[in-house]
Amino acid sequence: MPIETGYIAKWKDYPTDEIKIRVARPGPLGVPKKLWKLAKENKISWHEYEIMYLLHVLTDKKASEKLFEIARLLQDGKTVRLICYEKNPPCHRFTLKKALEIEMGII
């Protein structure tokens, strides 16, 4: 049940047997506009950003439903790739990946 990450411009380069999940805005796992703005204006630290993002994912109905869908896929042994627009870290997809790995007992 591996969790991979990826860059949206390389979508077609990733293995076809993976389940690719776009975690960018405007999707349910995208970063809320207000949080994105705080980060871009350097009004919060990366640590604060991660906490606020995870709180969003856990409290927003659509985001938490998508999170549980991903967890079910992983439990079924599927390889899931979280894909976003940011080419390199920092990006919320890495935060989401780590949270899922902790929850699933992968790390």
- Model pTM? 0.91
Confidence of residue 104 (pLDDT cuts 50, 70, 90): confident
- Residue 60 is classified by DSSP as S
Name residue, tokens 């940011």: 86
Distance of CA 84 to the CA centre of its chain: 8
Confidence of residue 107 (pLDDT cuts 50, 70, 90): low
Instruction: Report whether pLDDT(78) > 70.
Output: yes
Strand partners for 3: 80
